[in-house]
Amino acid sequence: MRFFDQQDEARAQTRRLLLAFALAVALLVAAVHGALTLAWWLMAWAISNVLPLHIHLPQPVLFFEVNVGVSLLLVLGGWWVETSQLRAGGEHLALRVGAREARPSVSHAEQRFCNVLTELCIAGSVTRPQPMVLARTDAINAFAAGWREDDAVVAVTQGALDLLTREELQGMVAHELSHLREGDTRLNMRLAGMVFGLELVYNFGRTVRENGGLGAWFGSAIMVAGFSGWVTGRLLKAAVSRQREYLADARAVQWTRSRDGLGGVLRKVMTQQHQIFARGRGINELDHPAVQHMLLVEASGEGAFERWFASHPTLAQRVHCIYGRDMAPLALVPVFTDRST
């Protein structure tokens, strides 16, 4: 893997997608105004030509300014509300999803995890986050969270501690540290807030339409523009997230100087997911909605439509990017069995 080239490409793609996201917000504001202008024109035409009134209805004063102002208020207000709820800190979020502090004095596996985390923080010049463990999750997974360096955490599942070698654990932890160093948590939270704001435009239109009368005209117009903006925002947010995953994968290979570290993790997850699909949810997965977009591996469907909105590339795509070719899944062989509860 040419990890520096991969990192540069991922950053360039991110910049292009963020520019497209900003353009989508601007187009949404323009679309809302255009839709309301069309609705006003149709209403005025109906009154002057269909009804026997023959009166001229000019646009209200400050029609453009109000339309743009309300649209921006909804988008930016939704962004502020959503992001303000996520600033409680990485440890608070990890505790919400069932994680606890790592116990290196009790478990050899957790001691190994803490040692790996410390080593990689020194190698990568990253402030050491709080190590945490999801002790009741059998699936191999991990996530990093935190708005600032002093509240950041890296949490790994019990399945990762039990089934990964030291080299593979290094690849997993390096991937998560890359997210912290690159500020991906903050970026994802901000984009999620903007998408929520775009959704508020649609919801506002639905509320206006439900009032009936003239509100049905204007509410429907706002709903059409708002829905288009919300779908576009979700697609672009997912595309940005996928590029950050590629960037973190490349950074993990750079820091560990090993393709088989993170590559081995992803290939073992392939095996585990095949088992889940074969026998149903027989493995306890981490599927809390608050951290889905932060996970090393997203639990999502494989359909083409679902992939458009997925926050992660497929496992096959990531493995191919790391090795330069397709690779077979790896067997799941327990490394540690001394679980700390």
User: b vs e for 169-187, b when ≥16 Cβ sit within 10 Å of the residue's Cβ?
Assistant: bbbbbbbbbbbbbbebbbb
Q: Is the pLDDT of residue 28 over 90?
A: no
pLDDT digits (tens, 9 = 90+) for 233-269: 999 999 999 999 999 999 999 999 999 999 999 999 9
> How high is the pLDDT of residue 117?
96
pLDDT in tens, 32-65: 888 888 877 877 777 666 656 556 667 777 888 8
In a domain, 66, yes or no: yes
Average pLDDT value over all residues in the chain: 85
Domain co-membership, 271 together with 154:
yes
Residue 302 belongs to domain with CATH number:
3.30.2010.10
| pLDDT tens track for 165-183 | 999 999 999 999 999 988 8
Domain membership flag for residue 61: yes
Structure tokens belonging to residue 91: 């440890």
Q: Which residues contact 6 (CB under 8 A, 6 or more apart)?
A: 246, 247, 249, 250, 321
When pLDDT is averaged across residues 78-99 and rounded to a whole number, the result is 78
For residues 316-329, average pLDDT: 94
Is residue 163 domain-shared with residue 294, that is, in the same domain? yes
Per the domain annotation, does 207 fall within a domain? yes
Residue 101 and residue 223 in one domain? no
* pLDDT tens digits for range 280-310: 555 677 777 778 778 899 865 555 667 788 8
Regarding whether 279 and 311 lie in a shared domain, the answer is: yes
Note the pTM of the prediction, 2 decimals.
0.83
Task: Indicate which residues carry an active-site annotation.
Answer: 176
**Is residue 279 in a domain?**
yes
- Residue 67 belongs to domain spanning: 3-88+185-242
Secondary structure class of 312 (helix, strand, coil) = coil
Domain tally for the chain?
2
